[in-house]
Copies of this chain bind each other. A is one copy, B any other.
């Protein structure tokens, strides 16, 4: 299977690490990613600062580009970029949408209404059971469950989401060819087969500490709202919840015992204005969605409207 020229051009731009802002300028000037790459260095310097333009002057590392193109040739592997009709409209609303990201699995899930469920990695068995049950109920109601493929709450939410028509999307903090943590390998393969895995990081990117918080903005950005199930005060899921609030998403939190450290994060969020949640229907009500009429019924999926051309939205 050949990689289409547009995707190949986007992969090259992605590997150049050019910042989004000058990239927007170049796309406005040269219209397509192929056009940006075909322009001469001097032509590109007419539109963007020298340091940004310099990133495109030499071709990317051949081995990395080959690995990326080889990855893209595999069935189910794909690249989504600004301007693609299925680039998620919800991501264009956030401050720094990724120009391009990789995906494995059911790309069509990108246009479904989505909901994020996040929490602590070392959550309690009850917390994980709750995350899975909420994921299943909301997926049954037609929402695609987004999370970060971490251990604990994230993994449980994905598992629940995969049981319903909404399915599940994992936003990962490594390259699309890596699974982290290794204990979630089987789950990652399930997600690639029945759901979707996406990554804004280059093929081959190992787990790097700084990439995981960055990934969180996409978890919340893809979703209409975020539920924090169990979170300590130091949990990264509180960052996701704050990003969600900044992005105008509804934030929900599950309360718990005043004696459990895993309740403290949710309680803080509730004090800050997050909605207290006891059952999945609380969230569906708030989002204006009905629960699944019957387990086998087709969900009432509200498709996002077709996005306007990306250049109008950035």
Chain A contact residues, CB within 8 Å of chain B:
126, 130, 254-259, 263-264, 267, 270-271, 275-279
B254 with A258: CB separation less than 8 A: yes
User: Is there an interface contact between A257 and B257, defined as CB atoms closer than 8 Å?
Assistant: yes
The docked-state distance in angstroms from the alpha carbon of A66 to that of B258 is 51
> Who on chain B is nearest to A266 by CB?
B255
**Cross-chain contact B276 with A264 (CB below 8 angstroms):** no
CA distance A278 to B257 in the complex (A): 9
Please indicate the chain B residues that have their CB under 8 angstroms from the CB of A275 in the complex: 271
A149 CB to nearest chain B CB (Å): 25
Find out whether the CB atom of B263 lies under 8 angstroms from the CB atom of A267. no
Are A258 and B258 interface neighbours, CB within 8 A? no
Residue of B at shortest CB range from A269? B276
CB A159 to nearest CB in B, in angstroms, measures 19
Across the two chains, which residue of chain B brings its CB closest to A254? B258
Task: Return 13 A-B CB contacts under 8 Å, by A number.
Answer: A130-B258, A254-B258, A255-B255, A255-B263, A255-B267, A255-B276, A256-B256, A256-B258, A258-B277, A267-B278, A270-B276, A271-B275, A276-B276
Cβ B255 vs Cβ A278 within 8 A: no
A126, A259, A278, A279: residue with the most chain B Cβ atoms closer than 10 Å: A278
Q: Which chain B residues lie closer than 8 Å to A263 at the CB level?
A: 255
Q: Are B271 and A258 in contact (CB under 8 A)?
A: no
Determine the chain B residues whose CB is within 8 A of the CB of A264 once the complex forms. Answer: 278
Kindly state the separation between the CA atoms of A298 and B271 in the bound complex, as whole angstroms: 32
Of chain B, the residue at the smallest CB distance from A229 is B258
A46 to B256, CA, bound (A): 61
Task: Enumerate chain B residues within 8 angstroms of A276, measured Cβ to Cβ.
Answer: 255, 267, 270-271, 276
Query: A276 CA to B276 CA in the complex, in Å?
Result: 10
Contacts of A259 in B (CB 8 A): 126
